[in-house]
């Protein structure tokens, strides 16, 4: 899981550096696929339930599962990169949102609150707490900052498969769900809308967009529950 996590995090960082005006989302997808394969790993998303690419790239009002293509990134775009890599039978899964250029102040706040909500959540990613303690902390932090969390998509256990039990929602009351035990690996992934929480799926069958058309952001790491602080597995020294 550590090896898979490092490769996945490096892929995310590499993609993030490519988030510049004039690049196409397909170019990012190709570069990430090559990088993952160069590490002796497999892009987990490619072919997953028929998904046609190695990365999800979701721009502006797109929250998650945007399909890379001929779209050209422009100054101010809010670009979420979600990537998975399978190495020696284990999966890393992580995401982050990047802005092309400086972006608006509101966009910068959205990105920072989304990232910080992950860290608020994992304060409870410790033995003895329950899954929904994480969920509740994420929701509280996001809503205290005036944004909203998506209900339809959730974080998840991750291991030999990308999606395992338990579900890790970004909302709900504390004190529910399975108790966290050392050795569990889970993907905690706040999906945050600047406006209302409502989403819909585009006709391509994948792209999830906000109904109000306002921007959205995503931040995710694969983490390990230990007997102390959680260990973030999707970290990469080379790129971060
Ligand atoms: N990374 C996403 C998740 O966190 C899954 C991507 S969907 C896929 O669950 F089809 F692209 F793989
Ligand atoms: Co995930």
For 90-122, the DSSP string reads EEEEEEEEEESSS--HHHHHHHHHHHHHHHHHG
Average model confidence (pLDDT) across the chain? 98
Q: Is the CB of 61 under 6 A from ligand 1?
A: no
DSSP structural state of residue 130: B
Establish how many alpha carbons lie within 13 A of residue 101's alpha carbon, considering only the half-sphere containing its beta carbon: 11
Residue where the block lists tokens 């899954």: 131
Average pLDDT over residues 22-30: 99
Q: What pLDDT is recorded for position 181?
A: 98
Average pLDDT over residues 68-74: 98
Reading the block at residue 188, the tokens are 């905690």
State which of 45, 159, 169, 222 you would mutate to test the pocket of ligand 1, scoring each by most atoms of that ligand within 8 A of its C-beta.
45
pLDDT of 113-168, one tens digit each?
A: 999 999 999 999 999 999 999 999 999 999 999 999 999 999 999 999 999 999 99
Among 175, 82, 169, which residue's Cα sits nearest to residue 117? 169
State which of 5, 58, 64 you would mutate to test the pocket of ligand 1, scoring each by most atoms of that ligand within 8 A of its C-beta.
64
pLDDT of 85-118, one tens digit each?
A: 999 999 999 999 999 999 999 999 999 999 999 9
Ligand closest to 221 (CA) is 2
56 CA closest ligand 1 atom index = 11
In this predicted structure, the answer to whether residue 240 has a pLDDT above a threshold of 50 is: no
Q: Separation of 183 CA from ligand 2 center, angstroms?
A: 18
Distance CA 73, CA 19 (A): 7
pLDDT of 29-67, one tens digit each?
A: 999 999 999 999 999 999 999 999 999 999 999 999 999
Q: Is the CB of 29 under 6 A from ligand 1?
A: no
- Burial status of residue 181 (CB atoms within 10 A of its CB: 0-12, 13-18, 19 or more): exposed
In this predicted structure, the answer to whether residue 239 has a pLDDT above a threshold of 70 is: no
Interstrand relation of 155-157 and 185-188 (parallel, antiparallel or unpaired): antiparallel
| Contact between 184 and 116 (Cβ < 8 Å) | no
**The model scores a pTM over 0.95:** yes
Q: What pLDDT is recorded for position 95?
A: 98
Residue count of the chain, please give it. Answer: 240
Query: Which residue minimizes the CA distance to atom 5 of ligand 1?
Result: 45
Q: Is the CB of 93 under 6 A from ligand 1?
A: yes
Q: What pLDDT is recorded for position 191?
A: 99
153 CA closest ligand 1 atom index = 9
- Per DSSP, what are the bridge partners of residue 87? 90
């Amino acid at each position: 899981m550590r090896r898979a996590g490092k490769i996945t995090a490096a892929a995310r960082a590499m993609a993030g550096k490519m988030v510049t005006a004039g690049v196409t989302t397909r170019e990012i997808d190709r570069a990430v696929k090559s990088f993952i394969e160069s590490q002796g790993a497999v892009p987990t998303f490619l072919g997953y339930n028929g998904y046609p690419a190695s990365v999800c790239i979701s721009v502006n009002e797109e929250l998650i599962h945007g399909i890379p293509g001929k779209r050209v990134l422009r100054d101010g775009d809010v670009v979420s990169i979600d990537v998975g890599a399978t190495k020696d039978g284990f999966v890393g899964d992580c995401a982050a949102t990047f802005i092309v250029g400086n972006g608006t102040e509101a966009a910068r706040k959205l990105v920072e609150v989304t990232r910080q909500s992950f860290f608020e959540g994992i304060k409870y990613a410790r033995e003895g707490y329950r899954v929904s303690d994480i969920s509740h902390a994420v929701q509280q932090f996001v809503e205290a900052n005036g944004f909203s969390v998506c209900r339809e998509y959730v974080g998840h256990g991750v291991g030999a498969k990308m999606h395992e039990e338990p579900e890790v929602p970004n909302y709900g009351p504390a004190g529910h769900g399975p108790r966290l035990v050392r050795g569990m690996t889970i993907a905690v992934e706040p999906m945050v809308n600047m406006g209302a929480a409502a989403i819909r799926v585009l006709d391509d069958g994948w792209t999830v967009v906000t109904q109000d058309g306002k921007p959205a952001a995503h931040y995710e790491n694969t983490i390990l529950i230990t007997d102390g602080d959680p260990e973030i597995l999707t970290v990469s020294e080379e790129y971060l």
